[in-house]
Amino acid sequence: MEKIGFIGTGVMGSSMIKHLLNAGYPVQVYNRTKSRADAVVSEGAVWCDTPAAVTAQSDIVITMVGYPKDVEETYFGESGIFSKADDHHILIDMTTSTPTLARKIAAFGKESGVRTLDAPVSGGDKGAQNGTLTTMVGGEEGTFDAVKGVLSVFSSKVMLQGPAGSGQHTKMANQIMVAGTMTGMTELLVYSKAAGLDLERVIEQVGSGSAANWSLTNYAPRILKEDYSAGFFVKHFVKDLKIALDEADKLGIDLPATRQAAQLYEQLASKGFADDGTQALVKLWWGEYAEI
């Protein structure tokens, strides 16, 4: 059985690691803040002091970190993955990052015979916990075939979308749709409350018709419980929407609805809610911070 290295033990990564451990894979881990790896180490993962050390002890190295700059440092830094990677390794970046960086990693790997994939996911904290993530992959078909079984341990849908960078482009398409459903879900609740409706009844009925969507099903009930904990951080969604808009500019297309969603989430982050979950968008309308 392949030895798995996993770098990034945050909300998503920790659940993914637990699924790999439960499936019997040996897992070596690294996280910038060591204490945040304690939970997975207590369940059998082995701590390593650097990304290079993880790589030296692994066959497949998976990264799930915060921002493109973190991906860059993890792969190309002095104690980074590429300092130890060779032609027996497969490297899989599951961070939502830029297609440009995914292609850079792939090109650098190809020069030294290292196989790489970009494979961002969708499904949030619940998808990671339940092992039902949607994993969108860019890279070569042979490399994808070699690791599809590993990715399927914590995913319900794993698909190769094209060459390097295609996974990240697909994730941007995903985030564009999520932006629309999050703003729609938020305004549905704001409107319904203003109209004096029973919000639970509205969610139940609207969620069974043509307006049904993942955001409504998963986030509206959290809002009614005033649960703004992060299944997906506001700060990370701001990052994703900026990437999507930058890529849209490169493609010569305009995405006005996505641009408006990005502005709303930037406003939310500026109010001190960057570490809340994306469902906190409703705070711009409700509560002491309401401005709209």
Q: At residue 58, what are phi and psi to the nearest 5 degrees?
A: -130, 160
Tens of pLDDT, residue by residue over 240-265, are: 999 999 999 999 999 999 999 999 99
Residue 75, token pair as written in the block: 């792969």
130 & 209 share domain: no
**Residue-wise pLDDT tens digits, 282-292:** 999 997 767 65
Q: Which two tokens stand for residue 279?
A: 């469902």
pLDDT tier at 135, thresholds 50, 70, 90: very high
> Which letter, b or e, does each residue of 203-239 get, where b requires 16 or more Cβ atoms within 10 Å of its Cβ?
beebeeeeeebbbbebbbeebeeeebebbbbbbbbbb
What is the dihedral sign for C-alpha 107, 108, 112, 117? negative
157, pLDDT greater than 80: yes
- Is a pLDDT exceeding 60 seen at residue 218? yes
Rounded to whole angstroms, the Cα distance separating 11 from 28 reads: 17
Choosing from 106, 140, 162, the residue where a domain stops is 162
Domain boundary among 162, 195, 219: 162
Tokens of 108: 């650098």
Domain shared by 136 and 247, yes or no: no
Number of domain units in the chain: 2
CB atoms within 10 A of CB 33: 8
Same domain, 118 and 96: yes
Range of the domain at 52: 4-162
Residues 42 and 133 in one domain: yes
pLDDT for position 289: 61
Write b or e for each residue in 83-99: b if 16 or more Cβ atoms lie within 10 A of its Cβ, otherwise e. ebbeeebbbbbbbbbbb
> Is 126 in the active site?
no
- Res. 99: pLDDT tops 70: yes
- CATH number for the domain including 254? 1.10.1040.10
Clarify whether residues 10 and 116 are in a common domain.
Answer: yes
Selected catalytic residue, list 171, 235, 239, 283: 171
pTM for the model stands at: 0.94
pLDDT at 31: 98
Q: How far apart are CA 135 and CA 153, in angstroms?
A: 11
From 136, 162, 188, the end of a domain falls on 162
pLDDT at position 1: 87
Both 122 and 201 in one domain: the answer is no
**Sign of the torsion formed by the C-alpha atoms of 61, 65, 67 and 72:** negative
- Contact indicator for 149, 139 with CB cutoff of 8 Å: no
The single-letter code of the amino acid at 192 is: S
* Domain co-membership, 52 together with 196: no
Same domain for 211 and 185 = yes
Q: How high is the pLDDT of residue 287?
A: 78
Pair (118, 133) in one structural domain: yes
Give me the CATH number covering residue 103: 3.40.50.720
**Residue 292 belongs to some domain of the structure:** no
